[in-house]
Structure 1
Amino acid sequence: MNFFKQWGRFMMAGARAHAAWELEMSNNILRSRKRLMVLGLLTIPVLLGGWAFAEPIASALPGFIGDKSAYSPAFYSTGIFVASILIGLCAGLITGCIGAGGGFVIAPALMSAGIKGILAVGTDLFHIFAKAIMGSVIHKKLGNISVPLAVTFLIGAILGATTGGLINRWLYEINPILSDAFITTVYCLMLGGLGAYSMIDFLNARKAGNAGSAHGGKSEGAELKNLPKKLQAIRIPPMITFDQGIIPGGRQISCVFLILSGALVGLAAAIMGVGGGFLTFPIFVYLLGISSLTTVGTDIFQIIFTAGYAGILQYAIYGFIFFTLAMGMLLGSLLGIQMGALVTKVVPGIYIRGFYALSVLAGFINRIFALPKKLADLEFITLSKSASGILDKIGIFAFFIVIGVFAIWVVGTFLLNIKKLKGVHV
């Protein structure tokens, strides 16, 4: 029980850190005319190209791999682009309003909309990479970055991302349904743990009468403070020095632990399409004992290189990215993050925490109810098509009803409180 509690806190700390990064990237893009111009220049050709070349692309792509439908849908359409904007908007609303990563719902949402899992992962990675490149203000963070630490970590991240990409592509070539089942199972485990912890946290806060902000709370992972000391005491050369500007002489840790940590982050990024940012913060701070300042600075490089390497070299060059979907999600998330962050000024934090728990659990229900159909199609289990279809639809409806109600509530709250929110800077 204590392990699952620690795992839940670990995941929540990462979700909050990644949400803070998302908000910072959004602010950097929207407050710069040059960045908005670049966004427009990227979006317009993508849209025009999608409309002009949708049918030729569709006819050129293989229809089947491993005797199963390979792409469905496989090319750009207006409906898919609109859906991508709405999915990005909802993810942004969750991120901005709750202060915890809404990106966890993107891949399940895309898969529920009919996108193959490997395409959802690749597209989400490219969307994160585009946001990181456009929104990063690197020169402001250079003073907080330990270059040896960052480079050593990235060695592991590239190895992990390569492995994750190979696994996803290998499974897809064997059978696209097997790939979907694998990605779905990974999301079930992640969303199940995070959702259970979020709901327990909400119920405890409600019982205690805590109506504070969803961004606050006690320090996550405080019980892990002895682990960094033990890891830093293991002197396996070469040792990497960091945090010299915070502690005289700095701290040291073996490159082995940095490479292993980077490999885990890269593997998760390439398999799940979440950029790995939600793991970097808790691993650095609570496992390796790296200061928050150094972590935040280094995380910029980690996300840019890991998401960029995995998205482009593991997915894009193999045709597993919908560029139109990525740009739609980017546009929607920029608006959603800003709107959600403003709503936190007028809504009690306890309600926000409750909605977040429901949103993550809805994502879990969506994937766990989709899994029987995929396992039945693979003949791993015996289940009639009608029964598996019903379960799949229940998961889809439950997911979109919860996310839709949350989105309507946030947008409605924003519109009803525009006068109060005028002049508020997030």
Structure 2
Amino acid sequence: MSFDAPTTLSGLLVGIVVGLTGVGGGALMTPILVLFFGIAPQTAVGTDLLVAAITKVFGTAVHHRHGSVDWQVVGRLARGSLPAAALTLAWMQWSGSHRVSDGLIVNGVAVALIATALGMLFKQRLHQAGRAHRIARPEAFRRLQRWLTSVAGALLGVLVTLTSIGAGALGTVMMVHLYPLRLTPHKLVGTDLAHAIPLALIAGLGHLFIGNVDTTLLVNLLLGSIPGVLLGSLLGTRAPMKLVQGAISLVLVAVGLKMLLH
């Protein structure tokens, strides 16, 4: 096992972004591994999932100490996402889809990136729509809230298991609509990080069993991502969130288009 400085630096930069915003783990790391380091797409997805699971433990610990994790919402999401991830892994193993062509995986990641970027760009409008519904029809909204949260979790479980993308950006987009009054911007980040841990862990271990994890790559990424997410989480309370997320959205669109052309 050898130290690789460029890989570790990539883990550091992505870790900082994840700690700041809760976004960017799979959405940034998987394309970087595929486009810049030439890692096979299925290996990039599997390895990144385990990196995310371990890294986000440290980010969540920081947010928990600051009281910015809503554990009830985490539980509601997990009730949908964890069974969905397990079923998706079982389907991949049974159908042999883990041996699917690299081109199909790359295209799937690219589409997920663009969908993630669009979700982030329209996040404020979704928040306003959710707030209006919550205020106008509070009882009906609360009755649907718990069920829709688990449905949102199930969608994330499938998407994250297949592409390693979605737990951060799409998760926060769904939550700003479903919890427009309850989750502040920083609590949104902390809650999303906490939910991503069991989801990424189950999906990552499934990919490890299938054979889609490079352990040397995993260690090098963790050497950068763990200090990165700690630094990002500490800076998160001071960062201009709208500006940071707007910049990430533009990057994701550019990377998604490049992967489609790739």
TM-score after normalising by structure 1: 0.48
Q: Which stretch shifts more, 217-226 or 320-329?
A: 217-226
Of 340, 346, 364 in structure 1, the residue corresponding to residue 256 of structure 2 is 364
Q: Specify the alignment match of 1:222 in structure 2.
A: 128
Which of the residues 104, 110, 126 maps onto 1:188? 110
Going from structure 1 to structure 2, the CA distance change for 1:315 and 1:325 (only over 3 Å counts) comes to: same
Residue type at the aligned position of 1:221: H
Q: Which moved more, 1:330-339 or 1:107-116?
A: 330-339
Q: 1:126 to 1:154 in 2, by over 3 A?
A: same
Give 2:140's match in structure 1, choosing from 219, 230, 233: 233
- Separation in structure 2 between the aligned mates of residue 159 and residue 334 of structure 1, nearest angstrom: 27
SS at match of 1:291: coil
Q: Which residue of 2 aligns with 1:88?
A: 11
- Structure 1 residue 188, shift from structure 2 partner: 2.1
Task: Report 1:318-397 matches (<5 A).
Answer: 318-334=210-226, 338=231, 356=248, 359-370=251-262
Change (3 A) 1:297 1:100: closer
**Of 19, 25, 49, which residue of structure 2 is paired with 1:125?**
49
Q: Is the 8 A contact 1:270 1:310 kept in 2?
A: yes
User: How far apart, in 2, do the equivalents of 1:140 and 1:190 lie?
Assistant: 31
| Change in CA separation of 1:195 and 1:257 when aligned onto 2, cut-off 3 Å | closer
Aligned-partner residue type, residue 328 of structure 1:
N
Q: 8 Å contact 1:284–1:290 — kept in the other structure?
A: no
- Alpha-carbon distance in structure 2 between the residues aligned to 1:331 and 1:322: 15
User: Cα–Cα, structure 1 residues 151 and 363, in superposed 2: closer, same or farther, change >3 Å?
Assistant: same
Tell me which amino acid in the other structure corresponds to 2:33. Answer: L
Gapped regions of structure 1 (runs ≥ 5): 1-49, 52-77, 202-216, 235-250, 371-426
Q: How do 1:45-124 and structure 2 match up within 5 A?
A: 50=1, 81-92=4-15, 101-103=23-25, 104-112=27-35, 113-124=37-48
Partner of 1:159: 83
Query: Quick check: 2:85–2:158 contact (8 Å CA) kept in 1?
Result: yes
1:107 to partner: Cα distance: 0.8
Task: Measure the CA separation in 1 of the matches of 2:144 and 2:124.
Answer: 27
Note closer, same or farther for the CA distance 1:192–1:363 as it changes in structure 2 (3 Å cut). same
Does structure 2 conserve the Cα–Cα contact (< 8 Å) formed by 1:275 and 1:306?
no
Mean Cα deviation higher: 137-146 or 84-93: 137-146
- Alignment partner of 1:285: what SS? helix
Between structure 1 and structure 2, the one with the greater Rg is 1
Counterpart residue number, 2:150: 259
Tell me if the contact between 2:68 and 2:188 (Cα under 8 Å) persists in the aligned partners.
Answer: no
Preserved contact between residue 8 and residue 223 of structure 2 (Cα < 8 Å)? yes
Distance in 2, matches of 1:257 and 1:128, equals: 25
Distance change >3 Å, CA 366–CA 176, structure 1 → 2? farther
1:268 aligns with 2:192: no
User: In the alignment, residue 319 of structure 1 is paired with which amino acid?
Assistant: G
Output the amino acid matched with 1:87.
S
Root-mean-square deviation (Å): 4.2
Which structure dedicates a bigger proportion of its chain to helix?
A: 2
1:44 aligned residue? none
1:381 aligned residue: none
Match of 1:176 among 88, 93, 99: 99
Residue pair 2:107, 2:259 contacting (<8 A) in 1 also: yes
Q: SS of the counterpart of 1:308?
A: helix
Which letter maps to 2:53?
F
- The count of aligned residue pairs is 250
- Percent of aligned positions with the same letter in both sequences? 22
Superposed displacement of residue 367, structure 1: 1.1
On the 8 A contact 1:124/1:326 being kept in 2, the answer is: yes
Partner of 2:169: 278
1:368–1:233 distance in 2 versus 1, CA, 3 Å? same
Cα separation, 1, equivalents of 2:133 and 2:201: 31
Kindly provide the amino acid, as one letter, of the partner of residue 156 in structure 2: V
Structure-2 separation of matches of 1:142 and 1:194: 23
* Amino acid across the alignment from 2:81: A
On the 8 A contact 2:22/2:190 being kept in 1, the answer is: no
Deviation at 1:358, TM superposition (A): 5.0
Distance, in Å, in 2 between the alignment partners of 1:166 and 1:154 is 18
CA–CA distance in structure 2, aligned partners of residues 287 and 329 of structure 1: 33
Partner of 1:394: none
